[in-house]
Amino acid sequence: MTEERGEALLEPDPGSSVSARLGVPLLEVQDLTKRFGGVKAVDGVSFTVNKGEIVALIGPNGAGKTTSFNLLTGFIRPDSGKVVFDGDDITAHPPHVLARRGLVRSFQTAKMFPSMSVREIIMTAAMLRTNKKDAEDKADEILAELHLQSQGDRSADQLSLPDRQMVELGKCLALEPKMILLDEIMGGLNRQESDVPVAAIRRLRGKGITFLLVEHVMPIVMSLTDHIVVLDFGKKIAEGTPQDIAAHEEVQKSYLGGSAKRDS
């Protein structure tokens, strides 16, 4: 994997887009609720992600983050609440419909056919949007964007964890997204390995893609994001800038200060 090492990658990003500063909504989550049995996994959660922002959804294990991602991307249906994307109500629309509208996601565990090459994996995703010839060109463009050209002919089962995570991001890019939801793309990576996806996210935001991240690596969250939403036991307990969240007493107690681990 090509390394893009530099302590500056963990410094605050000065390049917030104009639309992020002006507050043009792209994703609006309104009072979203999901129960499993008698437990509210997501309990009346509301927040907004503006165009051009990088927003993090954080909280202890079991706080409702992955359930929220599944609700936003149509993998499960909410019991109540509303999701608006780019001005349209998309509540409970299926994942393939949302992907065509520009709302796509990655998964904690990269999902790919182990015998396919990296180029073929990205091509297959691109063919959901275009023909085979254009998909080939798109795959090569994405491999270059993510500095994965040297990995293009390798099969998925030969890849390191950092490269698998970047291929997962590549699959998202192949769908020509307006917004990408990344579920722990830094999971299992060390500081040096994490520099590469951090740099990629910053570059892609500069090209107009909006991001919502679930992430546990707090130095990255604090340096990379414009806005943070904090969940605990399914409820939103805080939101604001990284500086606001770092100083928030309830967040310190429930998460940053080290609450007990809970199952997701």
Domain ranges in the chain? 16-102+177-264, 109-176
pLDDT value, residue 107: 85
Q: pLDDT tens for residues 32-51?
A: 999 999 899 999 999 999 99
- Does residue 257 have a pLDDT over 70? no
pLDDT value, residue 263: 37
CATH of domain 16-102+177-264: 3.40.50.300
Q: pLDDT tens for residues 119-142?
A: 999 999 999 888 888 999 999 999
Query: Is the domain covering 109-176 a CATH 3.30.2420 domain?
Result: no
CA distance 109 to 132: 27
pLDDT band at 250 (very low <50, low <70, confident <90, very high): confident
Looking at residue 4, its amino acid is E
Choice among 60-69, 116-125, 197-206, 251-260 with the minimum mean pLDDT:
251-260
